[in-house]
Amino acid sequence: MDDDIRYEQHVRRVLRTPLLVLQPLMLAMWPLSLWSNPLIGSPYKARYFALMLLLLGISALLSVARSARMMSLTFTGNIWALILAFRIQIQDGGAVGHYWNLPIAIVVVLGTCGLTYRLSHYLTTLAGAAFILFAGQAQLIPAAMPVQLVGLLVGATLAIGIAYNHANSQWMRRTFILKERYRILAETDELTGIANRRKLLERVDAARGESGQAPRHFVMLDIDNFKEINDRHGHQVGDQVLFATARQLDQLDPRLQGGRLGGEEFGLLIRDLDEARVSQLLETLRRRLAEAEPLGIRFSAGALRLTPELSLNELLRQADEGLYRAKRQGKDQTVWIR
């Protein structure tokens, strides 16, 4: 899976709970402000109900968003809708309504800085909110407030919001990188660098349950005479043989996913090839390994086609049976289980 996709999934998991917790607070803020505002007369006007429906609709979209990008876009739309609602309330408040401008702007700047994972998204959210809140207003702040102090307050608030957004984005990126390192360590065989037993069997189990007509095969492969190689040439050469085998598996075909099952035993998951082409692929592997350094490598294998009806344990048992039949029949060959 691509790193960008993994990062998007990581961000979604990090931000989903805070955003969903924030939604009821944002929804409650609007009716509470209406009931508490003595400047607007009745809080039960048709346009207020329409705005509440808009906020509910966007919140519903946010709750079902399946990607970090969609969550971010929906959250931005939610903020813009909330600002629109307050802008209308400010207008309905008459001449004194503009006292709300600065507090609302500060709440938006500080309240959203930790809930967008890219600085560009954060600045876009703020720019749209500022336009909705301030465009066309004859008076942005009360005349009694010194412009210099307001400018200082707005600048400091923006600086804090941008700094926090940047720090939060970097924190999410660092935790993702650390998590990926642990994932790779947990899924990779330390000696050979390919998938370990747990990761390979996860892939095989997932492929076993896939629907569709594309064939999927599993091959269990064991290096012939590996104990003799270790005894005669030493464990260092034995390790080189394992590494050379893994390298050839990794370079053989993009439709093949290999892993080390343990010791000198490897497993191959092969997609989208019929039995004849899988046999050809194994013969290519046999030829390449026979020419590999530090010495020629030979293997025996058991192979079978995956089906949803075949459990993972039964699949491994049958592949193992084919492997040992190949060993008993003289080694350096593949036995198919049909």
**Which residues are identified as catalytic?**
264
Q: How far is CA 292 from CA 70, 243, 244, 257, in A?
A: 50, 11, 7, 20
Report the amino acid identity of residue 271: R
Look at residue 142 and give its three-state secondary structure: coil
Longest dimension (CA), the chain: 98
How far is 318 from 320, CA to CA, in rounded Å? 5
116, 122 contact by CB (below 8 A):
yes
Distance of CA 248 to the CA centre of its chain: 30
Handedness of CA 156, 135, 43, 57 (dihedral sign): negative
DSSP string for 281-319: HHHHHHHHHHT-SSS---EEEEEEE--TTS-HHHHHHHH
From CA 25, how far away is CA 45, in angstroms rounded? Answer: 22
Residue in the structure block whose two tokens are 């008993």: 328
Cis peptide before 18 (omega within 30 of 0): no
Q: Which residues pair with 195 in a beta bridge?
A: 188, 259
Whole-angstrom distance, CA of residue 36 vs CA of residue 195 = 61
By CB atoms closer than 10 A (0-12, 13-18, 19+), residue 62 is: buried
Structure tokens at 59: 């919140």
Look up residue 267 and give its two tokens: 């497993």
